[in-house]
Structure 1
Amino acid sequence: MAEPPPITAGRLLVAATALTDPTFRRSVVLIAQHDEEGAVGVVLNSPGETPVADILEKWAPLAGEPAVAFFGGPVALDAVLAVAVVPRGDPEGWRRIRGSVGVVDLDTPPAVLADAVRGVRVFVGYAGWGAGQLEEELAEGAWHVVDAEPGDVLADRPGALWRSVLRRQGGNLAMLATYPDDASLN
C-alpha cells in the first residue's frame, strides 16, 4: 500500500467513512497550516445559513456562492477567517497557502483584492489539532490526505464535495464515494 501524501498546508483531509463524530462526519478540511505545534484547517463543506453580508458586509460582493458563512470547525467560534482563490499574482492582503489558494487578511479593504480574487469563502471557527494529534488520527484511519484543487474552496455545491473529492482520487478511495449515508440500511 502506498504511503499517503504528507500533511502540508494546501492539502485536504477527507473524513474516512469510519469517522462518525458529527462535527467531522463526511467533512473535507483544507489544511491552512501544519507544523511541529499542530495543524489548523477549515471545513470546506459545511455551509451555514447566515449570509456573509450579515457578518462581513464589505466582503459580501466577493463571496463565492453560496454566499453564506461556513462552519470552519469547532475551535474559536467567535473567530472569522476567509480563504480566497487568486489565479495570478500575490496581491496585498492575501497570503498563499498553496497554488492559487490563500488566506485573506480581513483588515485589508476588499477593493484591494477585488480584481485579483476569483472568490472568497468566509468561515466561522476553524479545525485545530495539537502537536501529534492529527498524525494519531491518521494512524487510526480517521482521515485520507489528498491534494486539493482550487475549485474545492469555492465549490458551488459544497454538500457534494466529500463524494466528488473521493471520486477523483481513483482506486479504493473513489469507491468510498459510493458509501451509503447509513450503511445499516444497506
Structure 2
Amino acid sequence: MQNELYPELLLYSAQNKSAIHYDGDMLVVSIIKFLVSQGRNSLYLSKYEGYLWKHSLNNSKKKATAHDASPFLTSKMNPHLNDSIVQNIGGNNHLPAESPAPNNLHNKAHYIVPGYILFATDKLREAIPFNNSTILVTLVNEGQVLQGLILNKPVMWDVFENMDHDWEPIKQAPISYGGPVRAQGLPLVSLARKPREGYTKVIHGVYFGNPVITSIAIEAIKSGDRSCNDYWFFLGYASWKWDQFFDELAEGAWHLSDDPTGSLNWPNS
C-alpha cells in the first residue's frame, strides 16, 4: 500500500488532464507564488496583499502604528534623506502645486494617476516614517485605495539578517524604505526600468512590481537569468484608504505634484 502525506496540493490546468504536484511549503505566500508561476492568466493572483503594518495620522503622537515592527529594522533605517533621487518630473523644476482647497478635492480625485509625486509638509514632521518624505504614487484605485513608494529614504541591504550568498547579485541593486506596509512573508516591492511580466506601468520607463512579482524577479536575478541593474527595491510601501488620503490632503499634510509625467533618476546602488 502506497503511503501518502496530507494535506496535498495538485494543480489541474484547463487544457491538461495530468496534475502538477506542489512540493513546497503549505503557506499562502508559497502557494500563490506556485500558482503565479504555473498559470498564464494567474497574474491576477499577484494582487495579493497582506497588511502587517498600518499607519495612522489620527493618533495623539501623529506617528505610524506598527503591528509587526522589527526594532532591528527600525534601528537600521538611514536617517539621512537623499533629496536628489527625484529630478526632472515632467521636465519642470518648479515647486509642487499647493494642496487643493477642500472644495476642489472632488475634482482632484478624478485626475490623480500613477506617477504623481507627494511631498510631505511640515504637518508631517513628527509622523514617522512620512516626515520629509517624497512619495511616488504607483497605484490609484478610485474610491478604494491609493498606494505609493517613499523615494528618498535609502537603507542598506544589511537590514536583513543572515542573507545567503545567493543574495549577492541582488545586493548590487539600490534599496530604499518604501513605507510601513508589508505583505506577509514578502517584505520587498520594486521598480523596474523596463517592462516585465507582471509589472504595471507607472510612467514611461518606470514599472511597479508588487510583492509576489518582485519575489519572482529576485529568484530570476539569483539564478542569473536577469541583471539587477534595471531594478530598484523597496522595503515596504505606503497605502491609504481613499477617504483617508483626501482627508490628509485637505489638512495640508501633502503637496501634490501637478505633472504626473516625467522620469526618475535611479539612485546609485
TM-score, normalised by the number of residues in structure 1: 0.64
Helix, strand or coil for the counterpart of 2:124?
A: coil
Whether 1:132 aligns to 2:243 is yes
* Runs of 5+ consecutive residues of structure 1 not aligned to the other structure: 158-186
Q: Residue in 1 aligned with 2:170?
A: 60
Describe the superposition over 1:88-125 as per-residue Cα deviations: whole angstroms up to 9, x where unpaired. Answer: xx3435321222111132214246654xx863111111
Match of 1:23 in 2: 129
Q: Which structure: larger Rg? A: 2
The aligned counterpart of 1:101 is 206
CA contact (8 A) 1:7 1:145 kept: no
Find the counterpart in structure 1 of residue 149 from structure 2.
Answer: 42
Q: Structure 2, unaligned stretches of length 5 or more?
A: 1-96, 101-107
Q: Kindly, what percent of the aligned residue pairs are identical? A: 25
- 1:149 Cα offset (Å): 3.6
1:48 is paired with a residue of what secondary structure? coil
Q: Secondary structure of 1:136's partner?
A: helix
Deviation at 1:8, TM superposition (A): 1.4
* Secondary structure, aligned partner of 2:156: strand
User: 2:138 matched to which residue of 1?
Assistant: 32
Mapped pair 1:155 → 2:263: no
Q: What is the CA-CA distance between 1:34 and the residue it aligns to?
A: 1.4
- 1:132 match: secondary structure: helix
> What is the CA–CA distance in structure 1 between the aligned matches of 2:136 and 2:154, rounded to whole Å?
14
Distance 1:61 1:81, change over 3 A: same
Alignment root-mean-square deviation, CA: 3.2
TM (normalized to structure 2)? 0.46
Higher relative contact order (CA 8 A, sep 6+): 1
Read off the aligned partner of 1:100 and give its amino acid letter: G
- Equivalent pairs, count: 147
The 1:145–1:118 alpha-carbon spacing in structure 2 relative to 1, beyond 3 Å, is farther
Alpha-carbon distance in 1 for matches of 2:254, 2:155: 23
Distance 2:133 2:203 in 1: 20
Is the 1:44–1:70 Cα contact (8 Å) retained in structure 2?
Answer: yes
C-alpha distance in structure 2 between counterparts of 1:38 and 1:103, whole Å: 16
Distance 1:16 1:2 in 2: 10
